[in-house]
């Protein structure tokens, strides 16, 4: 067995460095903001894209919802949203477990329990953008909830709100 893989440092399926590509794009779009904000936006944005891809298809309603959610970010220029959405759509499906673990760890560090529930609520609204939550999307949201330390009752309440 490769010692680096055994330590969790070896190559894994997916490329965690793609996460840095998204973070750098966010930094370029928001150069005057703090690095902690760049990291937060990166993590939430790639998770939004991951949830949108959970059912294996990215439809127009999901793309529109992603666009809408990114437009709400203060300081993110409207001119960069389309390119960021495209980057997210390309990057999220290619990220491996190492990158997702980094995202979850970052969000658990940056956010309290209430803020993590709000992140999950955003993710659920993205998953339901096409009018329904299918099994793959529900499983993805449950996985993210577990990773973020959001309890099952809170997840059930969030999913109940989204249908």
Residues 6 or more apart whose CB falls under 8 angstroms from that of 150 comprise 113, 116, 117, 120
- 142-163 pLDDT per residue, tens: 999 999 999 999 999 999 877 5
- 42-82 pLDDT per residue, tens: 999 999 999 999 988 788 999 999 999 999 999 999 999 99
CA-CA distance, 83 to 86, in Å (whole number)?
5
Instruction: Extract the tokens encoding 17.
Output: 């460095």
pTM above 0.85, yes or no: yes
Core vs surface per residue 48-71: b (16+ CB within 10 A) or e: bbbbbbbbeebeeebbebbeebbe
Protein fold of 15-162: TerB-like (1.10.3680)
């Amino acid at each position: 067995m490769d010692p680096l893989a055994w330590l969790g440092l070896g190559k894994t399926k997916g490329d965690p460095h793609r996460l840095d590509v998204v973070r750098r794009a966010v930094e370029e779009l928001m150069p005057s903001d703090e690095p902690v904000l760049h990291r937060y936006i990166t993590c939430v944005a790639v998770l939004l894209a991951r949830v949108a891809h959970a059912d294996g298809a990215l439809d127009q309603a999901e793309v529109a919802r992603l666009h809408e959610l990114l437009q709400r970010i203060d300081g993110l220029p409207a001119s960069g949203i389309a390119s960021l959405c495209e980057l997210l759509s390309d990057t999220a499906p290619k990220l491996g477990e190492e990158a997702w673990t980094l995202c979850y760890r970052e969000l658990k560090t940056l956010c309290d329990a209430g803020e993590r529930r709000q992140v999950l609520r955003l993710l659920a609204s993205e998953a339901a953008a096409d009018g329904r939550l299918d099994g793959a999307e529900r499983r993805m949201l449950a996985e993210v909830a577990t990773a973020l330390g959001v309890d099952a009752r809170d997840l059930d309440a969030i999913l109940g709100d989204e249908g």
